[in-house]
């Protein structure tokens, strides 16, 4: 059988749904044609391939290309100063109420033009790619006006043109009420629902809509309005839920059939049950947990017992998770959340694809899916989770290249 490229002499962690554990294949082979996987499995018993190029992997491990399903990559400036304030005793909420936090990043983002914003964002994207990321979700949410949210979304779209990576863009206008709406956040929600979402949808600038459901963000009633507007425009939903308190956002997300509810430190049994019923993915963000020194863990055991799929993400953002390392996030998920090696790797591949509604296309090594591979210089997959601050990526393949 003719194909573009074959990778031989590899050990595969296929992460294929239905295969136990990591779906390991020793003596594995991957064949690609037209950017898609033709075959991924044992070399013994594979069809005879006539490949334009054969890559000997030297017994290295191949996993699916990593997927980071929750990032806020597009912003200008940084918040190192607030980090210092926090080290001197101020809380995240105090800084947010005093005009810092999200709003200070908004100010820096508004004054940056599109080129400057793209230039500020690319190094963060490059750090993810250097660890084998092939698909990344990128949210807006630091513009907080129609003009500047559209600018952030355009920059997010341009990331995929600037680099070989799939970018899923999420509109997060309901991230925070900007200062001009401080006294009337409901009027800002009106703007999000009546002007921003229709404009974003008309321009085809978003693949999903997200909101920050929190005491310092938006109430469940406000989120309900945002969700209704998004749904009216056919856009899939995601939600920042139960990060700092329990507002039953996850149940709301489940009620709307959201793809995922994210953070979830304060999730209750009722929320777990609602997510399980709806098939809403739990996207866990150990970088934010770590950086904010949160002490309440997401209810991993309950999620596991209920069969709620668990994805992992960096949540890269300047305020609560200035993290651009999926490998470090896996280590944190294992160490802080007690997730297993299998759960950590599935969290950044198969379950991350599920959290983006892309499982049909990526997230595992299976014939028909996009040929996105990460080839690792490790003896066993556990090393990817175990080591800290070490990057054993040997090669990254996106769409067969």
Return residues touching ligand DI6 (CB under 6 A): 101-102, 105, 175, 212, 240, 243, 288, 317-320
In angstroms, give the least distance from the CB of 288 to ligand DI6: 5
In angstroms, give the least distance from the CB of 191 to ligand DI6: 18
331 binds, among ligand DI6, Fe ion, none (CB under 5 to 8 A by kind): none
In angstroms, give the least distance from the CB of 303 to Fe ion: 18
How many Å apart are CA 233 and CA 300, to the nearest integer?
34
In angstroms, give the least distance from the CB of 357 to ligand DI6: 20
CA distances from 86 to 115, 243, 293, 336, 380 (A): 32, 18, 11, 21, 39
Structure tokens at 392: 């054993």
How many Å apart are CA 142 and CA 275, to the nearest integer?
28
How many Å apart are CA 111 and CA 100, to the nearest integer?
16
Q: Which of 101/249 has CB closer to ligand DI6?
A: 101
Q: Which of 151/175 has CB closer to ligand DI6?
A: 175
369 binds, among Fe ion, ligand DI6, none (CB under 5 to 8 A by kind): none
299 binds, among ligand DI6, Fe ion, none (CB under 5 to 8 A by kind): none
User: How close are the terminal C-alpha atoms of the chain, in Å?
Assistant: 19
- Burial class of residue 157 (count of CB atoms within 10 Å of its CB; 0-12, 13-18, 19+): middle
Q: Which of 4/315 has CB closer to Fe ion?
A: 315
Counted residue by residue, the chain has a size of 401
71 binds, among Fe ion, ligand DI6, none (CB under 5 to 8 A by kind): none
In angstroms, give the least distance from the CB of 314 to Fe ion: 9
Q: Which of 25/102 has CB closer to ligand DI6?
A: 102
In angstroms, give the least distance from the CB of 121 to ligand DI6: 14
Q: Which of 294/315 has CB closer to Fe ion?
A: 315
CA distances from 228 to 176, 221, 222, 248, 382 (A): 18, 11, 10, 17, 42
Contacts for 155-161: CB closer than 8 Å, 24+ residues apart: 155/74, 155/114, 155/117, 155/118, 155/121, 156/73, 156/74, 157/205, 158/114, 158/118, 159/73, 159/74, 159/118, 159/121, 159/122, 159/125
In angstroms, give the least distance from the CB of 88 to ligand DI6: 18
Q: Which of 31/213 has CB closer to ligand DI6?
A: 213
Q: Please check whether residue 16 is in contact with residue 364, taking contact to mean a CB–CB distance below 8 angstroms.
A: yes
102 binds, among ligand DI6, Fe ion, none (CB under 5 to 8 A by kind): ligand DI6
Residues in contact with Fe ion by the rule CB under 5 A: 315
Q: Which of 55/108 has CB closer to ligand DI6?
A: 108
């Amino acid at each position: 059988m003719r194909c573009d490229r074959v990778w031989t002499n590899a050990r595969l962690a296929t992460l294929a749904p239905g295969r136990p554990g990591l779906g390991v294949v020793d003596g594995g082979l991957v064949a690609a044609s037209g950017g898609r996987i033709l075959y991924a499995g044992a070399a013994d018993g594979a069809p005879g391939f006539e490949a334009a190029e054969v890559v000997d992997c030297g017994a290295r491990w191949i996993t699916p290309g990593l997927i980071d399903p929750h990032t806020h990559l597009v912003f200008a400036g940084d918040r190192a100063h607030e980090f210092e304030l926090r080290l001197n005793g101020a809380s995240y909420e105090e800084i947010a109420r005093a005009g810092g936090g999200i709003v200070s990043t908004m100010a820096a983002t508004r004054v940056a033009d599109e080129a400057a914003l793209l230039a500020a964002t690319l190094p963060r994207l490059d750090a993810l790619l250097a660890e084998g990321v092939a698909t990344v979700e990128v949210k807006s949410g630091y513009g907080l006006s129609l003009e500047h949210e559209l600018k952030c979304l355009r920059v997010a779209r341009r990331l995929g043109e600037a680099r070989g990576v799939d970018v899923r863009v999420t509109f997060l206008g309901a991230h925070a009420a900007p200062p001009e709406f401080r006294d009337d956040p409901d009027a800002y929600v009106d703007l999000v629902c009546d002007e921003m979402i229709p404009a974003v949808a008309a321009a085809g600038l978003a693949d999903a809509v997200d909101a920050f459901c929190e005491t310092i963000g938006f109430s469940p009633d406000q989120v309900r309005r945002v969700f209704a507007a998004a749904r009216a425009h056919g856009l899939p939903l995601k939600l920042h839920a139960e990060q700092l308190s329990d507002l039953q956002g996850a149940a709301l997300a489940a009620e709307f059939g959201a793809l995922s509810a994210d953070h979830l430190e304060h999730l209750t049994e009722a929320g777990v049950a609602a997510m399980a019923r709806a098939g809403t993915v739990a996207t866990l963000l150990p970088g934010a947990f770590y950086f904010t020194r949160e002490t309440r863990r997401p209810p991993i055991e309950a999620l596991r017992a209920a069969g709620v799929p668990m994805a992992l993400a960096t949540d890269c953002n300047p305020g609560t998770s200035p993290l651009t390392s999926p490998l470090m996030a896996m280590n944190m998920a294992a160490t802080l959340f007690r997730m297993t090696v299998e759960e950590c790797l599935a969290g950044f591949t198969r379950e991350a694809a599920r959290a983006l509604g892309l499982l049909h296309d990526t997230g595992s090594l299976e014939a028909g899916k996009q040929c996105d591979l990460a080839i690792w210089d490790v003896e066993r997959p556990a090393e990817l989770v175990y080591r800290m601050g070490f990057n054993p990526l040997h090669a990254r393949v996106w769409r067969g290249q």
